[in-house]
């Protein structure tokens, strides 16, 4: 197993955004190797709840927790359920939530997890290590559904041709390894001028589908809205435009920049009071030093907002 340590992206910007203080209760909803959680714990006598859906990350976090005198608590699960996970520990309001979306270097670099087309391994991609794997999707899904996933989540222009080729190949031999799928993509999809491996988009699309990553963002943002106290901060780092658009649209709407209610509806004139205030209109991106030290930070964007004292727009868990 080859694992490189995960270098936290936009670390000091996230810590500045959450502005930890003594006694604060904070959530690191994507714990990974705990880069954000450790920095927050080092900056103030605060308490951090670390959430991750990957059992390996939870194990690593539990091993760390002893060093923090009960200030770090690990919660196994999805950040889309963060209010329920915290309620189990008697917490119904917090001062800050950080989300660093996507996969960690540990996950990508371990061929046994099946996220990478660069090394051969089982075609898995499940962050939780349970439920349907990427191989299950590729071997069982209807051609049209597969094409849709590759187009919508992978932004693959050749999605139909690719789905057709996958369905033809799987009749001869089911897909079991990352190498097998990457080879097929390279055979079917021409390499673009940008030099990016054509398998990149297919692997991104499948990973997002296997882990319902966009659904998690759609559940996680309103869950954070319900949990944050007035003045509490939300900091979200996204790595691709599909996620970033969800974050941008959510914060724009909740901060009063969305469409106004129609004057033909009974709610006319009763615009909802904003539940967030944007702390920066534009996303925060890595500086040249960070990019030189960590090329993986290249496409990262941080959006930060502060909770107002208006009621959350979302009702019960899972509703926006």
Ligand X SMILES: C[S@@+](CC[C@H](N)C(=O)[O-])C[C@H]1O[C@@H](n2cnc3c(N)ncnc32)[C@H](O)[C@@H]1O
- Where along the sequence are the contacts to ligand X (CB under 6 A)? 6, 8, 30, 32-36, 51-54, 57, 78-80, 100, 102-104, 127, 216
The distance of closest approach from Cβ of residue 41 to ligand X in the complex, given in angstroms and rounded to an integer, is 13
The distance of closest approach from Cβ of residue 113 to ligand X in the complex, given in angstroms and rounded to an integer, is 10
H/E segment holding residue 48:
strand 47-52
- Tokens representing 150? 């590759």
Tell me whether residue 185 or residue 284 sits nearer to ligand X (CB atom). 284
Q: C-alpha angle 59/60/63, rounded to 5°?
A: 90
Q: C-alpha angle 247/108/241, rounded to 5°?
A: 25
Tell me whether residue 96 or residue 102 sits nearer to ligand X (CB atom). 102
The distance of closest approach from Cβ of residue 162 to ligand X in the complex, given in angstroms and rounded to an integer, is 25
Tell me whether residue 30 or residue 202 sits nearer to ligand X (CB atom). 30
The distance of closest approach from Cβ of residue 181 to ligand X in the complex, given in angstroms and rounded to an integer, is 21
The distance of closest approach from Cβ of residue 103 to ligand X in the complex, given in angstroms and rounded to an integer, is 6
Beta bridge partners of 228: 94
Cα–Cα distance measured from residue 147 to residue 174, given in angstroms and rounded to the nearest whole number: 17
Tell me whether residue 95 or residue 110 sits nearer to ligand X (CB atom). 110
Other CB atoms within 10 A of residue 291 CB: 14
Tell me whether residue 113 or residue 158 sits nearer to ligand X (CB atom). 113
Tell me whether residue 211 or residue 308 sits nearer to ligand X (CB atom). 211
Cα–Cα distance measured from residue 191 to residue 253, given in angstroms and rounded to the nearest whole number: 39
Q: Using CB positions, name the residue nearest to ligand X.
A: 35
CB proximity list for 25: less than 8 A, separation 6 or greater: 46, 47, 49, 91, 93, 94, 95
The distance of closest approach from Cβ of residue 211 to ligand X in the complex, given in angstroms and rounded to an integer, is 7
Tell me whether residue 167 or residue 214 sits nearer to ligand X (CB atom). 214
- Mind giving me the DSSP string for 180-245? HHHHHHHHHSPPPTT---THHHHHHHHHHHHTTHHHHHHHHHHHHHHHEEEEEEEEEEESSHHHHH
The distance of closest approach from Cβ of residue 239 to ligand X in the complex, given in angstroms and rounded to an integer, is 8
Cα–Cα distance measured from residue 274 to residue 258, given in angstroms and rounded to the nearest whole number: 10
Tell me whether residue 9 or residue 163 sits nearer to ligand X (CB atom). 9
Angle between helices 241-252 and 213-227 (to 10 degrees): 30
Burial of 312 (0-12, 13-18, 19+ CB in 10 A): middle
The distance of closest approach from Cβ of residue 270 to ligand X in the complex, given in angstroms and rounded to an integer, is 34
Tell me whether residue 74 or residue 189 sits nearer to ligand X (CB atom). 74
The distance of closest approach from Cβ of residue 84 to ligand X in the complex, given in angstroms and rounded to an integer, is 12
Angle between helices 159-172 and 178-188 (to 10 degrees): 130
Cα–Cα distance measured from residue 51 to residue 67, given in angstroms and rounded to the nearest whole number: 18
């Amino acid at each position: 197993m080859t694992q490189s340590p995960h270098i936290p992206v936009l670390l000091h910007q996230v810590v500045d955004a959450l502005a930890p203080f003594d006694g604060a209760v904070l959530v690191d909803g994507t714990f990974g190797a705990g880069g954000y959680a450790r920095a927050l714990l080092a900056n103030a006598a605060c308490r951090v709840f670390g959430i991750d859906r990957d059992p390996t990350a939870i194990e690593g976090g539990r091993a760390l927790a002893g060093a923090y005198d009960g200030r770090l608590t690990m919660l196994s699960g999805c950040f889309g359920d963060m209010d329920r996970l915290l309620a189990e520990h008697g917490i119904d309001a917090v001062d800050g939530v950080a989300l660093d979306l996507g996969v960690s270097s540990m996950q990508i670099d371990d061929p046994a997890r099946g996220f990478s087309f660069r090394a051969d391994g089982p075609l898995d991609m499940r962050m939780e290590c349970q439920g349907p794997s990427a191989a299950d999707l590729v071997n069982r899904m209807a051609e049209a559904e597969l094409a849709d996933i590759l187009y919508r989540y992978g932004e693959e222009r050749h999605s139909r041709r690719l789905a057709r080729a996958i369905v033809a190949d799987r009749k001869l031999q089911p897909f079991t390894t990352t190498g097998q799928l990457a080879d097929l993509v390279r055979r079917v999809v021409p390499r673009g001028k940008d030099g990016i491996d054509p398998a990149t988009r297919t692997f991104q699309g499948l990973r997002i589908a296997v882990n319902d990553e966009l659904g998690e963002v759609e559940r996680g943002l309103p869950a954070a809205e319900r949990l944050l106290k007035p003045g509490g901060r939300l900091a979200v780092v996204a790595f691709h435009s599909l996620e970033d658009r969800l974050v941008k649209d959510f914060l724009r709407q909740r901060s009063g920049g969305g469409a106004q209610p129609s004057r033909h509806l009974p709610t006319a004139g009763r615009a909802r009071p904003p539940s967030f205030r944007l702390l920066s209109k534009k996303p925060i991106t890595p500086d040249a030093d960070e990019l030189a030290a960590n090329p993986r930070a290249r496409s990262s964007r941080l959006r930060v907002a502060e909770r107002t004292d208006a009621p959350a727009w979302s009702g019960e868990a899972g509703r926006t």
